[in-house]
Amino acid sequence: MLRHLRLKIPKMSISTRILPADPRSISFIGDVPVFSDKVTETNLHLAAKEVAKSGSVVAFPTETVYGLGGSALEDSSVEAIYAAKNRPADNPLIVHVSSLEQVGRLILTQLHKIPSVYDELISKFWPGPLTILLPIEEGSPVLNLVTAGQKTVGVRMPSNNIARALIALSDTPLAAPSANASTRPSPTLASHVEADLKGKIPIILDGGACSVGVESTVVDGLCSPPMLLRPGGVSPEEVKQYGGKQWLDLVLAKKTAGKMEPVRTPGMKYRHYSPSAKVVLFNNCGDGRHAVQKYMEHKQCKVALLRTKKFCSAADMGYSDFVERNMGTTAVEIARNLFKDLRAVDEMGVELILVEGIDEVDDGLAVMNRLSKAASETIDGADLQ
């Protein structure tokens, strides 16, 4: 049974190399990467050779977050992913490809094609931060360890040039969850990966900051009505707008799977996105002054405040000693800074992280999905009246 399996991290430490790669130096002729920078080319070939090995994994940037990739067709590679992250094995993995041709040749059987319900979404959002659920038919080489024993697999084509080039050069569909220790905030910088996985993986490709900052949107067009299983880099409104009439009735799946319920996509079960410090989420609390002051009564500890759209500064609230970050005023900015700022203040040794929530509309849905799972406690302004 996969449900209760958690593969243990090997005790032995390995040398981790951090290899720079410039996504701007990579272009594509069809699906073939072309390099204008020798260092990037050399490092991509090294990483591609490593990730093609049985039992090996590589961390690499995507537009969403950094991924930890291993062959979706090799048991030992998938086991290495679970072991490095200490990830529960009933939490399925998303498979990353560099081309539509790879989907047909390496994931689906020859008798099957990508269901037509996805045609318009693929045309608009591939490559990009959208994952689609595909049926796993008899004869598909995708492993049970990847799908957690289910009959579907999530597949996406990342738009980050480093990710696409790595997959194309290795000609290997990569099962790739976020490249962090399980339960930790997802990594959006190579330094985040290094902090969590140094000594556990051989290579980290450093391609700079991720542009989206939260994981991909996951949709299921195999059911009726279609479902959004995880909000992410493509908003529900965009799915409805560009997916065609069959997506107009898109429904949102529940945020968290039950204890004994199969996990259909990553992020639906277990603790996620959490720093070491306690995270407290504030919803509908105006400028935050009253809510934060009430919450902080009789508390003496090191505190960080992560502001977004409406909260006043910590100094205006009366707290000159708070660590403070302004994550932005738009959902896109906040998503890009969310995990980075959670990690940054956590590394300062704070005990409490107070975070201002935003409206769960458009791109804000993905932000609040992550924050609600990172938070140990939620304060609602309506309860303070």
C-alpha span between 229 and 176 (Å, rounded)? 18
Q: What is the spatial distance between Cα 232 and Cα 369, in angstroms, rounded to a whole number?
A: 9
- What pairing do the DSSP bridges indicate for beta strands 95-96 and 152-156? parallel
The whole-angstrom separation of Cα 60 and Cα 46 is 12
Please say whether the beta carbons of 257 and 263 come within 8 A: yes
Which residues sit in the known binding site for ATP?
A: 87, 91, 152, 178, 186, 230, 273
Per-residue b/e over 89-127, b at no fewer than 16 CB within 10 Å? bbbbbbbbbbbeebbeebbbeeeeebeebbebbbeebbb
Which tokens in the block code for residue 362? 């458009």
User: CA 335, CA 346: separation in Å to the nearest integer?
Assistant: 18
Annotated binding site for L-threonine: 64, 96, 156, 176, 216
Binding site residue list: 64, 87, 91, 96, 152, 156, 176, 178, 186, 216, 230, 273
Buried b / exposed e over 8-18, threshold 16 CB at 10 Å, is eeeeeeeebee
Q: How far apart are CA 246 and CA 43, in angstroms?
A: 43
CA distance 110 to 31: 20
Q: What is the rounded distance in angstroms from the CA atom of residue 311 to the CA atom of residue 322?
A: 14
DSSP secondary structure string for all residues of 88-99: BTTS---EE-S-
